[in-house]
Amino acid sequence: MGSISLKSVEKWFGDVQVIKGIDLDIQDGELVIFVGPSGCGKSTLLRMIAGLEETSRGQIMLDDVEVTHKVPSERELSMVFQSYALYPHLSVAENMGFALKTAGASKAEIEQKVNRAADILKLDAYMNRRPKDLSGGQRQRVAIGRAIVRKPKGFLFDEPLSNLDASLRVDMRFEIARLHKALETTMVYVTHDQVEAMTLADRIVVLRDGLIMQVGTPRELYEKPDNVFVAQFIGSPKMNLMPCTVQKGNFALAGGRGGALGSDQRNAAVQLGIRPEHITVTEAGTGHCDGVVQVSEYLGADFFHYVDCGPLGLLTIRTSGAFPDIEGKTVGLNFEGENLHFFAADGRAL
pLDDT digits (tens, 9 = 90+) for 249-288: 788 898 768 877 766 667 888 999 999 999 999 999 998 9
CA atoms of 195 and 189, how far apart (whole Å)? 13
Burial of 149 (0-12, 13-18, 19+ CB in 10 A): buried
Residue 261 confidence (pLDDT): 74
Per-residue model confidence (pLDDT) at position 14: 94
Q: What are phi and psi of 117, to 5 degrees?
A: -65, -40
Domains defined along the chain, listed by start: 4-232 (3.40.50.300), 240-343 (2.40.50.140)
Please tell me the pTM assigned to this model: 0.91
Region 34-49: what's the mean pLDDT? 96
Q: How many Å apart are CA 227 and CA 216, to the nearest integer? A: 13
pLDDT tens digit sequence for 163-196: 778 888 888 888 889 889 988 999 999 998 888 9
Question: Quick one: average pLDDT of 121-146?
Answer: 91
Residue 22 reports pLDDT greater than 90? yes
Collapsed DSSP state (helix, strand, coil) of residue 99: helix
More confident residue, 326 or 249: 326
